[in-house]
Structure 1
Amino acid sequence: RQERHEKSAQRAITKDMIRNIAAFPLAIPLIAGPGAISATVLLSGSFSTTFGRIALVLIILVTTVLTYLVFVLAERVDNFLGETGRSILTRLLGVILAALAVQFVADGVKALVAA
């Protein structure tokens, strides 16, 4: 009976690993997806000087390093946050994303009215 339980646990671990491997490439479009690309394009339009563009490149590099660190430390952060922390963080990031979307729309409407 113990042997059957161990084999069942091994199969569950293997299936979980396959699911994780299969889901990982889905993260790539979310990192450099339409939202990130459009935010970069909009921000690069507002930075018209060379210094501003260098600042934008530095911001992108810092964001890339932070993203790498999040991937490396994901399991520890997940264990630290727990279910409640993940829920709070998800809602907080959703509010920030909504604020960015409203700002982009407001900037677009302002530019359209000015033209």
Structure 2
Amino acid sequence: MQFIPKAGACLTTTNVLSGAGRVKWMVREESRASADNGWRIFSHIDTSEYLADSANMKVVDYNEVCEIEPALIGIWDLPVGSDLQLVDEGQGIKIVETATGRVVTPRWPAP
């Protein structure tokens, strides 16, 4: 399904793709290739040991992770340097800046 036209590719963990872990952290880095939009998507169960194994990371279309977690649609155009986490305290999902805890208001719909 295409939520965002020409969204580009992102890097995510196999835990996110398999459904073993739910989306928790989102970091936007400088793009490393023309198709790379810079987003790195991690799950709540990813450990540093798990992330150290490159076989646990996959390049996928950003729309694929949006299908898994629709809240990602609203952060797509945030700038490089964004470091976010998805918080669900039983009152609905919110996205917050990791460093400050400030709630990020997603853009709906994404461009």
So what's the TM-score if we normalise by structure 1? 0.23
Name the larger-Rg structure: 1
Name the one with the larger strand percent: 2
So what's the TM-score if we normalise by structure 2? 0.23
Name the one with the larger helix percent: 1
